Structure 1
Amino acid sequence: MGKADFLSPKAIANRIKSKGLQKLRWYCQMCQKQCRDENGFKCHCMSESHQRQLLLASEDPNKFMDHFSDEFKSEFLELLRRRFGTKRVHNNIVYNEYISFREHVHMNSTQWETLTDFTKWLGREGLCKVDETPKGWYVQYIDRDPETIRRQEEQARKKKQELDDEEKTARFIEEQVRRGRDGKEIDETPVFTELKRESEEEKVAFNLGASSSVAGPSKSSASLGPSALKAAAASSSSSTKRKDTSSDTRGEKKKKSALEEIMEMEEKKKQSVRTDHWLQPNIVVKVVTKRLGERYHKKKAVIMEVRDKYGAVVKMIDSGDKLKLDQNHLETVIPAPGKQVMILNGPYRDAKALLEGIDEKNFSATLTLDSGQQKGKRVNVAYEDFSKLA
């Protein structure tokens, strides 16, 4: 077996020794070669290939330094964006994770001498938000991706639209309260008189819960005859019946108060609470994840089965393949006007409807309900709340 054979014991031993990180002082960035000891690094520096690289670098040293600096900056920012996003993190944590990759570009070959200098440079260039604390320097990535900016603008637009709806509701409530106050009858102010007794022997009786006819015979029952008592009882019963009938008619004719209307509106608002899951079987969706490759990206599929509210088994329309995907990897499909859709979220959830028109400015569409108790009603629904029926 030859000395340079790939499966020779010496070659295998060399590969085992070269695993993991080695000392930085025995690494040649120009040749991108890591040596295991001082003797190996000395031999490499005396080699012909290293001497050629030095001659090339001596002709234009700034060119090589700029190349290594750009590569170090791009890889550092990519790790910061992918690993930590827009969170505030200590710069040393990011750097330690970056140098754990053995093929990384070393900082001693760039234009920055220390990690602090590189962190300050990121802040001056506007690539990150940096701040100094007693514990050290912290960095926060600034995401300037056009897709992210468009998504943030869309969310701000929707939030503004929700605030406008809240203002309209508040104005409607104020109008109902004002109408209730204007239509309310003016209460008669009570007249208070002094309590007087004609004689000391006369009893004073107070009628708190019963009608005035009950306290009528309070002078003395003996002074009234049996005929007078019967007449008083008959008059009290007739007056009680008249009051009951009059109160019933007033209750029937009484309109709803502003408070009752507000309570009904709140009840309707509770019924229209949105949910964080929208998957439904027999609807057409679009695959938006890139993890499955270009074969399925941006392709349409039909949901065959919904599992645990947030997962679905879909069948690709083009190839017929079946996949199991999360709802974050799918989005709704808007058909042409006149096609049938299903509402997936909001107060009209699970209702079928016909697409009448699309409002691109407000990211919504006009639908005519085709099922349910409110069949034939026109509603305005956002793009993500309905999808094409299979």
Structure 2
Amino acid sequence: MPKSGGFLTPKAIANRIKAKGLQKLRWYCQMCQKQCRDENGFKCHLTSESHQRQLLLFADNEEEFLDTFSNDFLDTFMELLRRRFNTRRVHSNIVYNEYISDRDHTHMNSTKWETLTEFVKWLGREGYCVVDHTEKGWFITYIDRDPETLRRQEAMKKKDKMDLDDEERIMKHIQEQVSRGESYGSKQTEFTELKRDDEEEKVTFSFGSSASMSAGGSQESQTIQNKKSNILQAAAAVGTKKKEGSRKESGKRKSALEEIMEEEAKKKAKLVEKKDYWLRKGIIVKITTKRLGDKYFKKKGVVKDVIDRYTGVIKLIDLGSKVKIDQVHLETVIPGIGKPICIVNGDYRGVTGTLHSLDEKNFCITVKSESGKLIEGQAYEDVCKYSLEDS
């Protein structure tokens, strides 16, 4: 009686279940991409005609096949490391176990690396990863060299350099005021010796014994008393003037604490809460993402419309096509000196004018408004090139 066979027999179902799971790597033929389930099946495959033909092809150009398998293994391994772990430090065996969980992966025994340790050392030498060896084994850290990531990191560094911490700035200012107050206190009053001028008028007294001199003596004494009173009044007037002048000078001089309070009040008056949206109709922006394709990357366009404050309809200048994109994937454009510009964020939001000057050291510019007023200290991200035709 013949054996009962079919697609739904228990044996056929069991074979399909076994084929779905992972098998032993030593029973896998990379050239034929065939997985055998046992030693006997693998031996039969090695003696098969199809396998012999693949071996002949490999013998003709073995370097090319070996490089192809090695490159496939490297690309897939690095893609998994970047996507799954990114720049975190991770054990190499953990990454390799996740890599081989895919039954269609390129096996290491078909590459130029014989062991995982040799492959990890090669990654460290070539600069793909940061490799370190511990008692627990080999650990790897992915090095992200994506241009978009590097550009974002550089922009963050510039922003951190430009935006100093408020507390650090206040402490620095207070220290300057304290040192200035100490320099004022170090100046002591210098006392000089009292000297009388030679030309100063001298007071003389004369006494007479005869009766004939009595009338003249009384007149001279009266004149002397008048002179004394005049001298005393003049000295008192000079003293009062000096006191009033010193009071005025002391009233004008401000203490270090008063100067600090005044400057802090001025700073608070200048501080304005910035909005988290800055798109405006008529400004010229640049696309900073590759999600739309390489032909749109780094292209400039004019904002034709703003949707929900954060999304803009951009008409590309070179291509003429329109795209709808979020402001996260856009950046402002700085025009040349004398060109139209618009302030898109901050205290003077919405003011238009021309670019007056650039301060590359502090990453800010000076805008000359349409009324002729100079607006200084505007950050790069708060201003954008303006199109008068599309305003």
Residue 219 of structure 2 aligns with which residue?
none
Question: Quick one: structure 1 residues 328 and 79, their matched pair in 2 at CA, closer, same or farther if it must change by over 3 Å?
Answer: farther
Residue 280 of structure 2 aligns with which residue?
281
Secondary structure, aligned partner of 2:306: strand
Q: Which of 97-106 and 38-47 deviates more?
A: 38-47
Letter in 1 for 2:385: K
C-alpha displacement at 1:106, in angstroms? 0.9
Question: Quick one: structure 1 residues 290 and 368, their matched pair in 2 at CA, closer, same or farther if it must change by over 3 Å?
Answer: same
Percent of pairs identical after alignment? Answer: 56
Q: Tell me the TM-score normalised to structure 1 length.
A: 0.61
Higher-Rg member (1/2): 2
Letter in 2 for 1:70: N
C-alpha distance in 2, partners of 1:342/1:378? 12
Question: Quick one: structure 1 residues 50 and 320, their matched pair in 2 at CA, closer, same or farther if it must change by over 3 Å?
Answer: same
Secondary structure, aligned partner of 2:109: helix
C-alpha displacement at 1:376, in angstroms? 0.9
Question: Quick one: structure 1 residues 16 and 351, their matched pair in 2 at CA, closer, same or farther if it must change by over 3 Å?
Answer: farther
C-alpha displacement at 1:342, in angstroms? 2.8
C-alpha displacement at 1:52, in angstroms? 1.9
Question: Quick one: structure 1 residues 161 and 45, their matched pair in 2 at CA, closer, same or farther if it must change by over 3 Å?
Answer: same
C-alpha distance in 1, partners of 2:24/2:326? 45
Secondary structure, aligned partner of 1:381: strand
Secondary structure, aligned partner of 1:89: strand
Contact 2:162–2:363, Cα closer than 8 Å, also in 1: no
C-alpha displacement at 1:367, in angstroms? 2.0
Letter in 2 for 1:119: V
Contact 2:336–2:355, Cα closer than 8 Å, also in 1: yes
Residue 330 of structure 1 aligns with which residue?
330
Which of 378, 381, 386 lines up with 1:381 in the alignment? Answer: 378
C-alpha displacement at 1:329, in angstroms? 1.4
Residue 260 of structure 1 aligns with which residue?
258
Q: Tell me the TM-score normalised to structure 2 length.
A: 0.61
Q: Which of 21-30 and 171-180 deviates more?
A: 171-180
Residue 71 of structure 2 aligns with which residue?
70
Contact 2:279–2:327, Cα closer than 8 Å, also in 1: no
**Structure 1 position 96 matched with structure 2 position 97:** yes
Residue 355 of structure 1 aligns with which residue?
355
Letter in 1 for 2:261: M
1:221-240 paired onto structure 2 within 5 Å:
none
C-alpha displacement at 1:129, in angstroms? 1.4
Letter in 2 for 1:259: L
C-alpha distance in 2, partners of 1:35/1:153? 52
Letter in 1 for 2:25: L
Residues 156-176 of structure 1 show CA distances to partners (whole Å, capped at 9, x for unaligned) of 556556679999987765554
C-alpha displacement at 1:291, in angstroms? 1.7
Question: Quick one: structure 1 residues 260 and 49, their matched pair in 2 at CA, closer, same or farther if it must change by over 3 Å?
Answer: farther
Question: Quick one: structure 1 residues 365 and 182, their matched pair in 2 at CA, closer, same or farther if it must change by over 3 Å?
Answer: closer
Contact 2:344–2:384, Cα closer than 8 Å, also in 1: yes
Question: Quick one: structure 1 residues 97 and 148, their matched pair in 2 at CA, closer, same or farther if it must change by over 3 Å?
Answer: same
More helix by share: 2
Letter in 2 for 1:88: R
Residue 240 of structure 1 aligns with which residue?
none
Contact 1:284–1:302, Cα closer than 8 Å, also in 2: yes
Contact 1:284–1:303, Cα closer than 8 Å, also in 2: no
Secondary structure, aligned partner of 1:51: helix
Secondary structure, aligned partner of 1:65: helix
1:122-201 paired onto structure 2 within 5 Å:
122-145=123-146, 152=153, 155-156=156-157, 159=160, 176-180=177-181
Aligned alpha-carbon RMSD (Å): 4.7
C-alpha displacement at 1:130, in angstroms? 1.9
Residues 120-174 of structure 1 show CA distances to partners (whole Å, capped at 9, x for unaligned) of 3322333321223454432112234566556655655565566799999877655
Letter in 1 for 2:356: E
C-alpha distance in 1, partners of 2:129/2:284? 41
Question: Quick one: structure 1 residues 46 and 316, their matched pair in 2 at CA, closer, same or farther if it must change by over 3 Å?
Answer: farther
C-alpha distance in 2, partners of 1:121/1:106? 17
C-alpha displacement at 1:66, in angstroms? 3.8
Question: Quick one: structure 1 residues 260 and 50, their matched pair in 2 at CA, closer, same or farther if it must change by over 3 Å?
Answer: farther
Aligned length: 316
Residue 235 of structure 2 aligns with which residue?
none
In the alignment, structure 2 segments of 5+ residues that lack a partner are 1-6, 190-243
Residue 82 of structure 2 aligns with which residue?
81
Secondary structure, aligned partner of 1:129: strand
Secondary structure, aligned partner of 2:289: coil
1:10-29 paired onto structure 2 within 5 Å:
21-29=22-30
Residue 301 of structure 2 aligns with which residue?
300
C-alpha distance in 2, partners of 1:116/1:357? 58
Bigger RCO (CA 8 Å, 6+ sep): 2
C-alpha displacement at 1:51, in angstroms? 1.0
